[in-house]
Amino acid sequence: MIEQQVHARNLVAWAADKPEVCVLSGDLTGSTEIAKFRDAYPDRFFNMGMAEQNMLSWAGGMAREGMVPYLHTFAVFLVRRPYDQLAMSVCYPNLPVKLVGFLPGIMTPGGVTHQAIEDISLMRGMPNMTVLEVGDAADIESVLDVAHEVAGPVYIRMLRGSVPRLFSTPMEFDRVRRLREGSDITVFSSGICTEDTIRACEVLQRHGISATHRHVTTLKPFTDPEVVDAARAGDRLVVTIENHNVIGGLGSAVAERMAEAGVGTQLLRIGLPDQFAHGATAAYLKDEYGISARRIVAAIADRLDVRVDVDDEELSAVEVSAAVDSEQLEAL
Amino acid sequence: MTTSKPSGGSTTPEAPPDSTVLTEQTPEAVARRVRARVLELTLKQDGCYLSQALSSAEILATLYTRVLQLAAVPEPLPAPQFTGVPGTVNPSPSGGRFHGEQRPGLDRFLISPAHYAVAIYAALESVGRLEPGAFETFNTDGSTLEMIGAEHSPGFELTTGSFGQALSQSAGIAVVRQRRGEAGRTVVFMSDGELEEGQTWEAAQAVAHYRLNNLILFVDVNGQQVDGLTKDIMSVEPIDARFAAFGWNVVIVNGHDPVAIEHAVTERDGSRPLVVLCYTDTAHGVPYLDARKPNLHYVRPKDDTDRRELRAALTALTGEQA
């Protein structure tokens, strides 16, 4: 099931009883689904123009006065351009400023200037910062509650436009979602990669490779005991799949937990291979950089030295919404 | 927009705004003490941010004694040892407490150039807001009177040592105060070198755009930066025309003239945000340092002659005081 503009509607309803919530736009009001909020609550909407350094520090000032600003712009303009302002005006004082960053990884044809591929790495390394990422409509509908509960700054890797609905329950802070249980491999996926990973795991299963699959929505902190338990479930290989540089994101976070817990299984990190991307459609770029379902299956089969003839039709025929049932069974 | 301070905040809206206290001391006397204390420390610790104190002494002294409407502190506040940064179990309290209880009708004073910390500490001590003896802990391990202050340092409500960020942060504070209808002004002090930062002008345009007419910016235009004279390194003039073009009211004063500094504020019409450009001299009160210009970012006595001359200057300053 594909849905449209989930954040736009959810934000308006969610903020209705929260007078402390205000929204700051970086001249990307339509592009970040906050036009409905602007129209519903004009006195809580501040367009800060194209001046992100000022926007980050300004938000820190507002937070000191009791507001909880939700900053909306493209992720690159929240964490790359105004990094020092974010560090000194927001994160050092541990202020409740929430960054809602759009166009994660390759989710834009806008090319290198618009593609946030190292944002999770930067934000994981920032003291006091909490890092959340959404992968479906249910995540989008619940991420604001999770972010709002955090006393300090939060970075949300957000999706816009058409998004799948994979889950039927709210995301939980620092808790992975369980999608599948298996014993050959363990797969951790995040963000948009989870839908493709669901497809890949189903096809691998049909070829005799059983997978434990977890969807990660909180990238920092990353202390859920289930991460280590799941990592131990796959006998042959642990795989991480992310729409981000393989350095500093999900793959690194899983590697740290595995090493600390003494999980000796080999780790395959799938993601952008430490290079900048370019402008093209998301489907094209996913395949180019190895995070399409087809490339995920091929990479895992190759590492396991198993022959799997990947059939695109078979992959696209996998019912991803089935994860709803799976999720409910496993998590509840 | 309805909002209140988070619980634990120090705002008490019912408190009358007339409980402001301007110190009985003259700005001239406070400025002399600021110079003397920082020069004394420069000799004792064999180096300090002296020139910043020399250029800003009258600005800070006038603000604290004639301009700022701040709640009194019952007695000079102690500055206990550093315990932790924000977000840790036992963070040090805000350095803003030295400016008294925050109230809607009172001013906020936000300091941008954290390298001026020693001058701020000396001024707070001179106007009876910082406990005697605390100043001597300046730049010693474990003291909150750090060389380059952060928001646990006396007088500092914001963390601003990375230049150009305080005006934006202060504007964020001012815009919420404006929406709440608070009468108190938001007063920001910055240095001219920060005008080179692009963020300063992002803030200047946003302050004008949001008509934050209760924001007053004081700039210490001492014309010097680390590498030399500002006009040689990266010229920021014409500062007045630049701010005027951004939609601000601009007043230029002699930054060593307390009466002019005070008048710039009392005569403001409130129709726009106000910037007061205070032109100053980094050797004011210690003319011996004239010969060293423009290499005055951090003054360290180099030889016996320096030490002798600086001691003589200190004697002159303290003699004037007595």
- What is the share, in percent, of chain A residues with pLDDT greater than 70? 97
Q: How many A/B residue pairs have CB atoms within 8 Å?
A: 113
Q: At what angle do helices B117-126 and B27-44 cross, to 10 degrees?
A: 130
B16-69: per-residue pLDDT in tens? 444 455 668 999 999 999 999 999 999 999 999 999 999 999 999 999 999 999
Average pLDDT rounded to a whole number, residues B265-280 = 96
pLDDT score at B20: 56
Give the residue from A167, A230, A159 showing the smallest Cα distance to A191.
A159
pLDDT of B7 > 60? The answer is no
pLDDT given at position A320:
85
Give the model's pLDDT for residue A202. Answer: 96
Interchain pair B206, A93: CB under 8 A: no
Q: What is the pLDDT of residue A309?
A: 86
Band of the pLDDT at B149, cuts 50, 70, 90?
confident
Does A331 have pLDDT greater than 50? no
- Tens-digit pLDDT profile for residues B237-255: 999 999 999 999 999 999 9
- For the entire predicted model, the pTM comes to 0.93
Nearest by CB to B87, which of A55, A61, A152?
A152
What fold is seen in the domain A177-331?
Rossmann fold (3.40.50)
Average pLDDT of chain B to the nearest whole number: 92
* CA-based nearest residue to A171, from A148, A202, A200: A148
**Is B150 in CB contact (< 8 Å) with chain A?**
yes
- Determine whether the interchain pair B5/A19 forms a contact, defined as Cβ–Cβ distance below 8 Å: no
Output the pLDDT for position A321: 74
A216 contacts: CB under 8 Å, gap ≥ 6: A133, A176, A177, A188, A189, A190, A222, A250, A253
Superfamily of domain A2-164: Thiamin diphosphate (ThDP)-binding fold, Pyr/PP domains (3.40.50.970)
Tell me whether A59 touches chain B (CB under 8 Å).
Answer: yes
Label residue B269 by pLDDT band (50, 70, 90): very high
Average pLDDT, chain A: 95
Record the tokens describing residue A246, joined without a space. Answer: 């393989």
Digit-coded pLDDT (tens) for A96-140: 999 999 999 999 999 999 999 999 999 999 999 999 999 999 999
Cβ atoms within 10 Å, residue A34: 25
The complex scores an ipTM of 0.92
Sign of the Cα pseudo-torsion (B169, B170, B173, B176, in order): negative
> Within an 8 Å CB–CB cutoff, is residue A127 touching chain B?
yes
Residues forming CATH 3.40.50.920 domain(s) in chain A: 177-331
Q: Determine contact: B7 vs chain A, CB below 8 A.
A: no
Sequence-separated (6 or more) residues with CB below 8 Å from residue B195:
B219, B236, B239, B242
Residue span(s) of chain A under CATH 3.40.50.970 come to 2-164
Euclidean distance between CA atoms B191 and B112, whole angstroms: 7
| Long-range residue pairs from A170-174, CB within 8 A, at least 24 positions apart, any chain | A170/A138, A170/A141, A170/A142, A170/A145, A171/A132, A171/A134, A171/A138, A171/A139, A171/A142, A171/A143, A171/A146, A171/A217, A171/A218, A172/A146, A172/A217, A173/A146, A173/A149, A173/A218, A174/A218, A174/A221, A174/A222, A174/A223, A174/A224
Domain at B18-81+90-321: CATH code: 3.40.50.970
Picking from A44, A54, A92 by the largest number of B CB atoms within 10 A of its own CB, the best residue to mutate is A54
- Whether the per-residue pLDDT at B123 is higher than 90: the answer is yes
Most B CBs within 10 Å, among A41, A65, A148, to test the B interface: A65
Q: Rounded to a whole number, what is the distance in Å from the CA of B200 to chain A's nearest CA? A: 8
- Nearest residue, CB atoms, B4 vs list A44, A51, A66: A66
Q: What is the pLDDT of residue A1?
A: 82
Q: Would you list the domain boundaries of chain B? A: 18-81+90-321
Return the structure tokens found at A72.
Answer: 């909306």
The 10s digit of each residue's pLDDT in B175-184 is 999 999 999 9
Dihedral sign (CA A24, A61, A22, A79): positive
Closest by CA to A308, choosing from A207, A195, A174, is A207
What pLDDT sits at residue B311?
96
Tokens matching residue A79: 């964490």
The amino acid that residue A283 corresponds to is A
> Does the CA dihedral A62-A63-A67-A68 come out positive or negative?
positive
Residue length of chain A: 332
pLDDT at B15 over 70: no
Out of A49, A58, A87, closest to residue B168 by CB: A58
What is the percent of chain B with per-residue pLDDT over 70, rounded to a whole number? 92
* Sign, Cα dihedral of A50, A56, A61, A62: positive
Q: In this predicted model, what pLDDT tens digit does every residue of A238-275 receive, in sequence order?
A: 999 999 999 999 999 999 999 999 999 999 999 999 99
B5 contact residues in A (CB cutoff 8 A): 65-66
Give me the percent of chain B exceeding a pLDDT of 90: 89
pLDDT at position A328 over 80: no
- Provide, rounded to the nearest whole percent, the portion of chain A with pLDDT above 90: 92
Q: Decide if A264 contacts A234 (C-beta within 8 A).
A: no
